[in-house]
Chains A and B, each alone.
Chain A
């Protein structure tokens, strides 16, 4: 059951503030990193909604992300539509794909769910890779950013774009938190805890899981549309399953089912990648080692482990006080 605790709010504010300061004080390269983190964090939060609160481990969130990016890019490059229409098309495409995959996979669980979503993601990847009209493996250039000059924002400026990405990340987090605390989210958490019992009390769990997957896809779609605007270029790699895998690693590293943990995980992974790649091209080895450690340490992830230890420490302190200091630790 999702709880927006003061610790989580604090961690979120500290993270966003830190990234905003890093972007405004740093140079172009630092801003690129902040943008990369913000977009990956949105994608990780969207995956945590289904993986951490609905027991749906998806390996097609990269494909959803990429489809939204292509939806945005295609609308602008191929149809000459304004970017605002591209935004709607990109997100709508993500929702449609998410609802379709979610509905078909809703009856499966565990490893079968992972495999089914992986297969659907790869189908989307291959279709785009093979499409000459969409540029095949060359991708598509000429994707413009949205024009927000009406509200005084110059999106071509790297600092402005980085801050817009951070603002959208905050909105994505709030949307996820509100939905997870709603009637819909409570019921989803019930399905996560015991799907069979939820059916026995009258919940159509397949429909509920499908709706949750579509909502998650909408947030992944927002990240995809921002990605297309960031690089001003889309290519089939965005849909490739390794991105889905990387996001899943981020969610597990940060703390699955904590919502803010995956955002922290995205930050650490991107920073780690950039730091380690100064020294070696084999940065994946380092990330792999960290992942193995995280899983062996109990699978709670960095933020999850932190919350777990904090809760244990508080419980022990309460017990000591309650029994006049005589309690066994």
Chain B
């Protein structure tokens, strides 16, 4: 008998496949994400983690397979159409509005989420709903103090925070974070940990992360990828003990440390 108490997954990926010429970067990837779940994806460089994100948000089209979000097939939808359904991502390399202030960066994403982008007369920046989102997100990513700083004058760490902030200001149901701590120091990684722990439990997240402590802290479940394939999926505790994972990923990681 089916377990009727378990809610249907918010995101379901079935047999996703992608090749660039002769290079097979994503191999029959399947996974299901429960509503509110926090999933961390681990894997060495070149494992196909970012490619998977690009497929999920529509920046790449898969050769085969299907993506279902909130029960709706989205495999053929454009990037903005998927974003409007509630998928937002942050990037591994900062992808910000460089010449604008941090406040404006968040406001542009908030305006998009409110659908307040078309009026020729009304100014969305004066919309109280938008301001509320900007203030809330600024607090979530610890940028309240420097909202009026131009991005190009902000520190690298602050830009990493804003990278996630823009995605949050789009008011997603599913947040994909591609190495949020990429390039920041140990002190800031702790800050990112607190930031993620404080996000609402209702928000489903998929996080690509290289920092082991953060990954095991944040994750409800962990997916390990290697050479385009999902090689393991399980709870954080199982992951640590799994022999395959140790061999292909943790071994490699320890080698670098």
Give A residues with C-beta under 8 Å from B.
1, 178-179, 181-184, 186-187, 189-190, 193-194, 196-205, 208, 215
Interface residues of B in 108-130 (CB under 8 A from A): 108-109, 111-113, 116-125, 127
Q: Does B242 contact A (CB under 8 A)?
A: no
**Contact of B124 with A196 in the complex, beta carbons under 8 Å:** no
* B97-113 interface bits toward A, Cβ cutoff 8 Å, 1 = contact, 0 = none: 11110001001110111
Please measure, in the bound complex, the distance between the C-alpha atom of A1 and the C-alpha atom of B99, giving whole angstroms. 9
Known: A184-B119, A184-B120. A202 touches B112 (CB 8 A): yes
**Contact of B79 with A186 in the complex, beta carbons under 8 Å:** no
Residue of A nearest to B127 (CB): A183
Interface residues of B in 125-155 (CB under 8 A from A): 125, 127
Please measure, in the bound complex, the distance between the C-alpha atom of A184 and the C-alpha atom of B116, giving whole angstroms. 8
Please measure, in the bound complex, the distance between the C-alpha atom of A187 and the C-alpha atom of B110, giving whole angstroms. 11
Residues of chain B within 8 A of A183, CB atoms compared: 111, 116-119, 122-124, 127
**B108 interface neighbour in A179, A182, A186, A204, Cβ under 8 Å:** A186
Kindly list the 8 A-B residue pairs having the minimum CB-CB distance in the complex, ordered from nearest: A202-B83, A183-B124, A193-B97, A190-B108, A187-B117, A202-B84, A201-B112, A201-B170
Residue of A nearest to B151 (CB): A193
**Contact of A182 with B80 in the complex, beta carbons under 8 Å:** no
Residues of chain A within 8 A of B84, CB atoms compared: 202
Residues of chain A within 8 A of B99, CB atoms compared: 193
Residue of A nearest to B115 (CB): A202
**Contact of B88 with A201 in the complex, beta carbons under 8 Å:** yes
A sample of 4 more A-B contacts (CB under 8 A), given A202-B84, A203-B112, is A178-B121, A181-B123, A186-B123, A197-B97
**Contact of A193 with B98 in the complex, beta carbons under 8 Å:** yes
* B69-92 interface bits toward A, Cβ cutoff 8 Å, 1 = contact, 0 = none: 000000000111001100011000
**Contact of A203 with B116 in the complex, beta carbons under 8 Å:** no
Please measure, in the bound complex, the distance between the C-alpha atom of A202 and the C-alpha atom of B57, giving whole angstroms. 11
**B109 interface neighbour in A178, A181, A184, A201, Cβ under 8 Å:** A201
Residues of chain A within 8 A of B118, CB atoms compared: 183-184, 187
**B79 interface neighbour in A190, A193, A199, A215, Cβ under 8 Å:** A199
Give B residues with C-beta under 8 Å from A.
57, 78-80, 83-84, 88-89, 95-100, 104, 107-109, 111-113, 116-125, 127, 166-167, 169-170
Residues of chain B within 8 A of A204, CB atoms compared: 78, 80
A-B contact count (CB 8 A): 92
**Contact of A182 with B121 in the complex, beta carbons under 8 Å:** yes
**Contact of B95 with A202 in the complex, beta carbons under 8 Å:** no
Please measure, in the bound complex, the distance between the C-alpha atom of A199 and the C-alpha atom of B80, giving whole angstroms. 5
**A193 interface neighbour in B78, B100, B111, Cβ under 8 Å:** B100
Known: A193-B100, A201-B88. A182 touches B123 (CB 8 A): yes
B203 to chain A, nearest CB (A): 16
Residues of chain B within 8 A of A187, CB atoms compared: 108, 111-112, 117-118, 124
Residue of A nearest to B130 (CB): A183
Known: A1-B104, A193-B98. A203 touches B120 (CB 8 A): no
A178, A182, A208 pick with most chain B CB within 10 angstroms: A182
Residues of chain B within 8 A of A193, CB atoms compared: 97-100
B55 to chain A, nearest CB (A): 14
Residue of B nearest to A183 (CB): B124
**Contact of B107 with A186 in the complex, beta carbons under 8 Å:** yes
B141 to chain A, nearest CB (A): 15
Residues of chain A within 8 A of B98, CB atoms compared: 193-194
Q: List 25 A-B contacts (CB under 8 A).
A: A1-B104, A178-B120, A182-B119, A182-B124, A183-B116, A183-B118, A183-B119, A183-B122, A183-B127, A184-B117, A186-B125, A193-B99, A194-B95, A196-B95, A197-B95, A197-B97, A199-B80, A200-B89, A201-B83, A201-B88, A201-B108, A201-B112, A201-B167, A202-B80, A203-B112
